[in-house]
Structure 1
Amino acid sequence: MTPQELKNSILQLAIQGKLVEPNIRDFPVDLSAIKQKKTDEYEFELPDNWRLAHLESITKNIPSKKYQILESQVLADGRFPVISQSKAYSIGFSNEADKVYHHDRPVIIFGDHTSEVKFVEFDFVVGADGVKIFEPIDDIIVGKFLFYIFQFYSRDLSKIGGYSRHYKYIKNKPFPLPPLAEQKRIVAKIEELLPYIDHYEQAWSKLEQFNSRFPEDMKKSLLQYAIQGKLVEQRPEEGTAEELFAQIQEEKQRLIAEKKIKKEKPLPEITDDEKPFDIPESWKWVRLQQIGELSRGRSQKRPRNDPNLFINGTFPFIQTGDVARANGHISCWSTMYNQEGVAQSRIWPAGTVCLTIAANIGDVAILDFDSCFPDSVVGFNAYKPIMSNEFFMYGLMCYKTILDKLSRSTAQKNINIEILSQIAFPLPPLAEQKRIVEKLEQLLPLCERLK
């Protein structure tokens, strides 16, 4: 039950005569002196000493035009508060004494266009069209009791529609009238309970915030556990990352000998200060360029959106927004290169990890198809014997915050290959990589279902 639903339940008990104990010695209100129109059947059964009447019979409707100023005339400070039909109790101040409504007794403000209800017991100026002012007739209804009836009736007004139908609805509703003494007891009980509703609302809000954050927080925690070696157990028979690293270096040497890749400059050893967290002994800290190709996409022609690159296009071209929207796997595209576009770019194979380094920095996803992408996206493909980049995609998802911080150190908010190549990245044994990915693929969909 939401806080508003709880409050509505209390108000409903109040207008049904079920919130406080009745007193048989309480006299019913006397309606003999007022002109009554026919009262429709009331939606609740009422105690015997309660009466029903319409709003026009139990209040004085004060015309508001003579007390109204323009919104442009409202001041930030002044002598008299300005009351309108907005959610804000007061929208400012006015110094126009001839526009002041001088109250003899409390009044109810009702927003004909907004259905906002306010209890006012001081002099004020009216700040908008649609403000209805009702002064309760003291020997028939207590002002605060009328206010709470208004609050209960206004709960359904948003469903009515129209710009001026709210008052018409309220005007035709029968108002329940307990004895005056009981009205006062009901008001006292409601106001005794309101602080508890406020406390409940605070707790509810915190719970709602927690619930809204929980799926994403859980996803982040699972990914963090995964790259720290805490999601699945380590198995000695699966070997070590050091052994895997040696196999990757052999593959790199073969590719260099075949002139398929260029020999790179040796990268510096990873220091303890560069390691963001502890990893299992069977794992190894590496730099991504040591274990795979890490390169920017290509879009040589300027401007990048030259129509000549796209007219009658047939080959997929993805951009940073496609990566951001992918939720792990890029399975569709909205733009296609033609042959001229492909010729000035580069084709990346399905399975490539795509990492955005400009605009929305640090978004990661894997290509499900061969595609081109611009130099605002970096592609990563691990060398054999690693056959899948899934582990690296999930790992890089955890680096989004780190990459965002690094991007802020540059003149223009972006990341370059030099920065990426220096990042320390955890490498598990190959079999453990596969088990981590399998576990994540079991658990992450559960997080999505919680949203």
Structure 2
Amino acid sequence: MASKGDINKTDIQPELPQRWISVPFKEGLSKTGAFTKLKSSAYLEEGIYPVVDQGEKFISGFVNDEDLIYKGDLPVVIFGDHTRVLKYIDFEFAAGADGTKILKPINGVDDKFFYYYLRVLNIPSFGYSRHFKVFESLDLPIPSLPEQQRIVAKLDALFGHLDVLREKLDRIPVLLKNFRKQVLTQAVTGELTKDKLDKYEWIELGYFVENSFYGPRFSKEAYTLDGIPTVRTTDMTDKGGLIITNETPRVKVEEKKLESFRVKNGDLLVTRTGSIGKMAIYTGNEPVIPSAYLIRFRFSDKVLTRFVFYCLTSPYGQKVMGLSSTAITQPNLNAEKIKSIKIPLISLELQKTILYKIDELFLFADKIESQYQSLKAKIDQLPQAILAKAFRGELVGQEVKEYVREIGEVMIAAEGVKTYEKN
């Protein structure tokens, strides 16, 4: 966090073209209309006139009293004195409470140009202190009005393209989530291998369980820096059901108890309280102990732990455990309930074939997701890069064109995922 003594104009505003004239920022502001600063307690959830304040939400609430709305020319720009949030407002509104600054430029400065210029400024954070004082050190560029309007038109068009690209990108996580669910559904039914599993005997999971164990509770005195690591739900990764125990609490355990407590390679851990139903497979050799809210399952050699894991995390398994999105009540998970869940009694070879197909398809989805994450990061950074070029007088649209092609390729792959869902 910066201090107000660190203000350096060249770090905050871009280097402006020499052909542009500029004035001290505050000399470029015109007087704004009257308004009533509303406290958040006065906001309504629904109403006639929207309330705009310095918060992240564009509209923070509503009022019905016409006397409370801003009385002045529109559009204006809202600047959050505490938050640095910017909003372009071209509709009737009521102003929020303390920290909501209403700004309007002098004649000769296009309102949208003014707004875009504020967006390009790199205003440092002073925490919840006030930030408007920073503008005393800055300039307001005033190129010719036709040039301002050309810049605004170009930026409007480019940001419109970016909005379309974001909408397309935002569809990908949902497609991938549904795809992975469908893969697991087909794994449980046998459609992945074209070998219908309903022709096999379905047997309770307890048939495969060698033993189950509830994580023990320890006193505060038992925790030590050089003890045995304890596994927590937060050590379970969301992807692949793996466990990472880099910085977990450690406890002292008597040697004779360690063997019965410890988690071994291939054991399945299931959370029974808190993040109920979250599960993972331990693949290490270092002795670790499950936390008190975990259940440890150890299986016989008649079943592969990963096959059990995918059966339980499939839509079928989640529904049986009461963890699906349609579940009405909070489930009560315990070892006996999990042992009662039925899975198909199939050969190890068929289990391996199913796991191979799951890995193959999930790898395909992971590749698309990686492309999505990379593109999203680039798209999120693009607005500031575009604005910076605009106010250096170098604005071009090539950046967006490059990402249109990349997003198109990822969307084709993602639509392939959607097509797979239907097959």
Candidates 141, 146, 164, aligned match of 2:110: 146
2:115 is matched by which residue type in structure 1? Q
Computing the radius of gyration from Cα coordinates, the structure with the larger value is: 1
Say whether 1:295 aligns with 2:263. Answer: no
Candidates 370, 385, 390, aligned match of 2:306: 390
Say whether 1:336 aligns with 2:250. Answer: yes
Give the alignment's Cα RMSD to 1 decimal: 5.0
Structure 1: any 5+ residue segments left out of the alignment? 1-39, 46-50, 235-277
Say whether 1:433 aligns with 2:363. Answer: no
> What is the rounded CA distance, in whole Å, between the counterparts of 1:295 and 1:126 in structure 2?
57
> What is the rounded CA distance, in whole Å, between the counterparts of 1:287 and 1:407 in structure 2?
24
Say whether 1:379 aligns with 2:340. Answer: no
1:116 is matched by which residue type in structure 2? L
2:311 is matched by which residue type in structure 1? G
> What is the rounded CA distance, in whole Å, between the counterparts of 1:80 and 1:298 in structure 2?
56
> What is the rounded CA distance, in whole Å, between the counterparts of 1:81 and 1:363 in structure 2?
41
Candidates 90, 97, 111, aligned match of 2:79: 111
**Structure with larger RCO (C-alpha < 8 A, sep 6+):** 2
C-alpha displacement of 1:53: 6.3
Query: Are the equivalent residues in 2 in contact too, given 1:94–1:125 (CA < 8 A)?
Result: no
Q: Determine helix, strand or coil for the equivalent of 1:62.
A: coil
Candidates 11, 17, 23, aligned match of 1:43: 17
Moved more, 395-404 or 53-62: 53-62
Per-residue CA deviations over 1:268-306 (Å, capped at 9, x if unaligned) read xxxxxxxxxx6253x33111112333523352xxxx231
Moved more, 209-218 or 353-362: 209-218
Change (3 A) 1:326 1:229: closer
1:228 is matched by which residue type in structure 2? T
Query: Are the equivalent residues in 1 in contact too, given 2:30–2:104 (CA < 8 A)?
Result: yes
Query: Are the equivalent residues in 2 in contact too, given 1:111–1:131 (CA < 8 A)?
Result: yes
C-alpha displacement of 1:403: 1.8
Query: Are the equivalent residues in 1 in contact too, given 2:202–2:342 (CA < 8 A)?
Result: yes
Candidates 328, 353, 360, aligned match of 2:275: 360
Say whether 1:414 aligns with 2:414. Answer: no
Q: Determine helix, strand or coil for the equivalent of 1:218.
A: helix
Query: Are the equivalent residues in 2 in contact too, given 1:284–1:427 (CA < 8 A)?
Result: yes
Candidates 341, 346, 356, aligned match of 2:261: 346
Moved more, 206-215 or 122-131: 122-131
Query: Are the equivalent residues in 1 in contact too, given 2:75–2:90 (CA < 8 A)?
Result: yes
Query: Are the equivalent residues in 2 in contact too, given 1:101–1:123 (CA < 8 A)?
Result: yes
Percent identity among equivalent residues? 17
1:431 is matched by which residue type in structure 2? E
Per-residue CA deviations over 1:294-340 (Å, capped at 9, x if unaligned) read 523352xxxx2313444476434324443466842335362334234
2:245 is matched by which residue type in structure 1? C
> What is the rounded CA distance, in whole Å, between the counterparts of 1:209 and 1:154 in structure 2?
27
Say whether 1:423 aligns with 2:341. Answer: yes
Structure 2: any 5+ residue segments left out of the alignment? 1-13, 371-423
C-alpha displacement of 1:146: 1.3
Alignment of 1:190-201 (within 5 A): 201=163
TM-score by length of 2: 0.60
> What is the rounded CA distance, in whole Å, between the counterparts of 2:69 and 2:238 in structure 1?
56
Match of 1:322 in 2: 235
Per-residue CA deviations over 1:14-55 (Å, capped at 9, x if unaligned) read xxxxxxxxxxxxxxxxxxxxxxxxxx996398xxxxx96648
